[in-house]
Every structure is written in structure tokens, then in C-alpha cells.
Amino acid sequence: MEPSASLAEDKSTAYGAPLALLTVLFFAFGFITALNDILAPHLKEQFALDYTQTMWVQFTFFFAYGVVSIPAGTLITRIGHQKSIALALLISGCGCLLFYPAAAYHRYELFLLALFCLASGITLLQVASNPYVAALGSEATASSRLTLTQAFNSLGTTLAPYIGATLILATAIPSHATIQRLYLVLAACFFALGILIFLSALPTLTTAAELDTRRITKNPLWKNRTLLGGILGIFVYVGAEVSIGSFLVNYLSHPTIGNLPVAEAGKWVSFYWGGAMIGRFLGAYVQRIVQPARVLSLYALCAIALILVSMSTQGLVAAIAILSVGFFNSIMFPTIFTLALSGLGPQAAKGSGWLCTAIVGGAIIPLLQGMAADQLGLQHAFFIPVLCYGYIAYYGFKRMAR
């Protein structure tokens, strides 16, 4: 039987082992998500796609969040966080296996199907693990704790572009066997992690508030403005982050920006995600001494400034400016997430499902930027992330006033 844990007090040190195991999961789904930034330009070349068609890679992957998140929240309440995480890893492993026939038959739609299956497992994993980490200690330090685990997520996103560029973009036409071997290894990793999670003794998260059904009746989620604002915040944040990452290879290889070979440009994407990793390690400390909402607004304004610099310049300045946005992305997701869940109590699992549904922004916004890039040019299309960060700055300011 799983041990029961009371979360009334901050007992983060007592949850060291579960947090460490969950941190490995954050690394895993960070790695697999950032790998799409390399897979997308590879498929663009292999199937002679325009920017809009290429962004179907991100649309398919992140559309799964819109479809799966709310059912995932219901599933978690029925079978618990631990079994849900194990199942999520199994589904993700199966998605990785589907890349084998997709590469063998050289069909773009099969790649999209594999991505959707993979993302469905990642969605369930996110819905289960984010509130789990937030709950392993006091609410006051939830943003800091989730930011720290997200830092290891960023370690995965930092390594993935470099490894992916080396394996996938190293030659003009990589063999299908390269894709197949890479995703077979990833499938084995997901299956191994799923078995480990299933066999581990993780704490059952229970609070007295979970028994207070009257509170749920009196405070329906659709009336919670903080949650609704956070949902939009997650939507535009993920959309902006994914949009920038998705276009970096093409942007850095553009003659007026970096003029780099595609394989080299792919490796530079690691600086974008590496900045987020460094920012999250620092942010885990900063948010213990500075109000998280204040940090959120400041970082959003800095991201806007850097994108505008990149849009209005060329060469190394434009390249460095856009890559630097990664650092200021660092604390946004965990901060918006925990601010939005603040005070939800027994409805946190359902609220997490709603928030993870908003990750579908990673499907919609890159597609819009792809359309803008086809019509206005790649550099001018970055006005779309500027609008996204503008709302995030606004949400932070609103939360500071409370």
C-alpha cells in the first residue's frame, strides 16, 4: 500500500526521493518536445513543405493537449497520480515506436500520427506531474519548487537540439534508419521509466480540503478569474516559446541572420533552451525572495524587447537577441501555472487539466506564425510572440495587485 502524506506543512525535504524521480520525467518530456525543433526542418526538406505545412508538426503534437488534458484530469482522479504517470510513459513509448513505420514508408501523415500518440502520453504526464510537484510541500514555495524541476526539463530541451542536429541534420538526406534507431531508443527509455514509476512507493496526495465537497460547489472553476487568466497565459506562453524554437533553425540559417549550415544552426538552438535552463535554476532561488508575479512581468517585458531588437537588426545581433529570449522564458510556465492554481484546493487536479489544455497554444500560434512567415517573411513574423508576451506581462501585473 502506498504511504499517505499530509501536505499541511512544508515538508519538501521529506519528499526528496519522489521529487528526484519526477525530475527525471521532466527531463524526458523536455527532451522529446525540443526534438521537434529539429524534426520539423528535417521534414520540411524531406517533403518539400512550406512554413505553414511544416508547422503541422507542432500543431499535431500540441493539439493533443487540447484533446487529452481534460480527460486526463478525470483519469487521474480515478486511478491516482502514480498509475497515471506510468500509463503516460507507456503511451509515449508506443508513440515513439510508430516512428519506425513512418520512416520506413516515408509518409508525412504517419509522422504526424506518431507525434500525436507520443504527445498524448506527454499530455497525461504533464497533467499528472505538474500539480504533483506543486503539492509536495507548501503552497508558498510551489512556484520555486516547480521552477526547479522545470530547470531539469530545460536540460532535456537543451541537449535534444544538439543531439538531434548531430543525428538528423548532419547530412542532407539522413537515412531512415537514423530516425528509427533514435526513436526506438527513446521508446525503450519511456518503457523503463514507466516500469520504475509503477514499482516505486510514491506518496498519495491527500488533504482535508479534498473532502470538502461544499467548497467545490460554491466555487466552480469557470468563475475563477485567476485560473481563466492563467489558462490564456499558458496558451500564449507555450505558443510563443514553441513558435520561436520551431523557426530557429531556418532563422539562424537565413543569409541575413546567421547564414549557418542547417546542421550547425540546429546545434545553436541548444543556446535558446540552455538559457531557459540557467534561468530556471536561478529563478528557483529568486522567486523565494521576490514576488513571482513581479518576476513574471519583468521577464515578459525583457522578452518583448529582445524580439523587437532581433526583428529590427541583422547578423549576429539579431541571432543573439532571439536566442536570449530563452533565458526569460525560464520561469514563465511554472509561475503562470502555480499562480493560476493558487487557492484551488480540492479542484487543483481539474484545474491542472484545464491549464494543460491551454498548452494547445503550441499548436495554434506556431501555425499562425508559419502563415505570417509565408506572407510577410520569416523575420517580420516574430511580431506574433511579441503579442503573446504582452499578455503575460499584463497577467503578472494583475496578479501583483492582489
**Predicted confidence pLDDT, tens digits, the chain (402 residues):** 344 434 334 444 556 677 778 888 889 988 999 999 999 998 998 899 999 999 999 999 999 988 988 888 788 888 888 899 999 999 999 999 999 999 999 999 999 999 999 999 999 998 888 777 766 766 666 666 776 777 788 889 899 999 998 888 865 555 678 889 999 999 999 999 999 988 887 777 654 344 444 444 456 777 788 899 999 999 999 999 999 999 999 999 999 998 999 889 999 999 999 998 898 888 877 877 888 899 999 999 999 999 999 999 999 999 999 999 999 998 898 899 888 887 776 677 678 778 888 989 999 999 999 999 999 999 999 999 999 999 999 999 988 866
For 312, residues 6+ apart whose C-beta sits below 8 A from its C-beta are none
Domains of the chain: 12-202+212-400 (1.20.1250.20)
Give residue 205's pLDDT: 61
Q: Which of 43, 155, 44 has its CA nearest to residue 378?
A: 44
Angle at alpha carbon of residue 204, lines to 200 and 207, rounded to 5°: 165
Give residue 10's pLDDT: 44
Torsion angle of C-alpha atoms 98, 99, 104, 107, degrees rounded to 10? 90
Alpha carbon of 195 to those of 19, 188, 191, 264: distances in Å? 17, 11, 6, 37
Place of cell 497520480: 81
The residues with which 6 forms a beta bridge, in sequence order, are 206
Do the Cβ atoms of 62 and 119 come closer than 8 Å? yes
Beta-carbon neighbour count of residue 191 at 10 Å? 17
The residues with which 5 forms a beta bridge, in sequence order, are 205
The Cα–Cα gap between 207 and 53 comes to 47
Q: How far is CA 335 from the centre of its chain?
A: 13
Give residue 222's pLDDT: 72
For 376, residues 6+ apart whose C-beta sits below 8 A from its C-beta are none
Residue 187 per-residue DSSP state: H
The Cα–Cα gap between 257 and 206 comes to 53
Give residue 159's pLDDT: 92
Q: What are phi and psi of 10, to 5 degrees?
A: -80, 105
Alpha carbon of 226 to those of 57, 222, 234, 330, 350: distances in Å? 31, 10, 12, 21, 15
Does pTM top 0.95 for this prediction? Answer: no
All three cell numbers of 303? 522578452
Give residue 141's pLDDT: 65
Q: Which of 171, 185, 212, 137 has its CA nearest to residue 28?
A: 185
Query: H/E element holding 215?
Result: helix 213-218
